[in-house]
Amino acid sequence: MARADLPVLGWKEHVSLPEWGLNLRGKLDTGARSSALHVSDMQELAAGQDPTTGEPITHVRFDVVLGTRSRPRHHPVEAAVVRHKMVRDTGARAENRPVVRTRIVCGPLDVVADITLTDRSGMNFRMLLGRLTLERHCLVDPAHGYLVTGRSARRRGIVHE
């Protein structure tokens, strides 16, 4: 059932992860359950303690790969691991991925959501927004891209890929 009050986004849009200072192109994929981000040099750090709950917390340090394949730029990020999740990639191979949580902004979409970290080097988009991130927030038009963020965001300096 379509809801007329939800904004319509294209199948690809420019995405911002403001807590990490990142702007990149993303694919809005309703066929994927979870969101995923292409990272390299990922290492889980020793567990610490949550100052409010006293529960153990693990952090992960990773590089988000920006730029072109021939001239990659690495943007270092450190984040708390929310949990680990078994995810099947496009080749149906199961992978145990760390899950982090951050704010995602894509046009009118502004949510705090979980993102799995993985190597997406063979994929065209380094960021994938899955249906758990999108549901109840927007509709996706599979026939059009850049409906709300525009194609020229790279020229305006918004996208740092």
Q: How far apart are alpha carbons 11 and 112 in whole angstroms?
A: 20
φ and ψ at 18, to 5 degrees?
-60, -30
DSSP, res 6: S
**Whole-angstrom Cα distance, residue 31 to residue 54?**
37
If you average pLDDT over every residue of the chain, what do you get? 89
Domain CATH for 103:
2.40.70.10
Task: Specify if 160 maps to a domain.
Answer: no
156 in a structural domain? no
Handedness of CA 53, 79, 86, 128 (dihedral sign): positive
Number of domains in the chain: 1
For the cut 70, the answer to whether the pLDDT of residue 104 exceeds it is yes
- Which tens digits make up the pLDDT trace of 16-70? 999 999 999 999 999 999 999 999 999 999 778 877 888 888 999 999 988 887 8
**How do residues 124-140 score in pLDDT, each as one tens digit?**
999 999 999 999 999 99
Rounded average pLDDT over 97-116: 97
Q: Is residue 3 part of a domain?
A: no
| Domain around 42 | 8-150
Burial 101-122 (b: 16+ CB within 10 A, else e): ebebebbebeeebbbbbbebee
Q: pTM score > 0.85 for this model?
A: yes
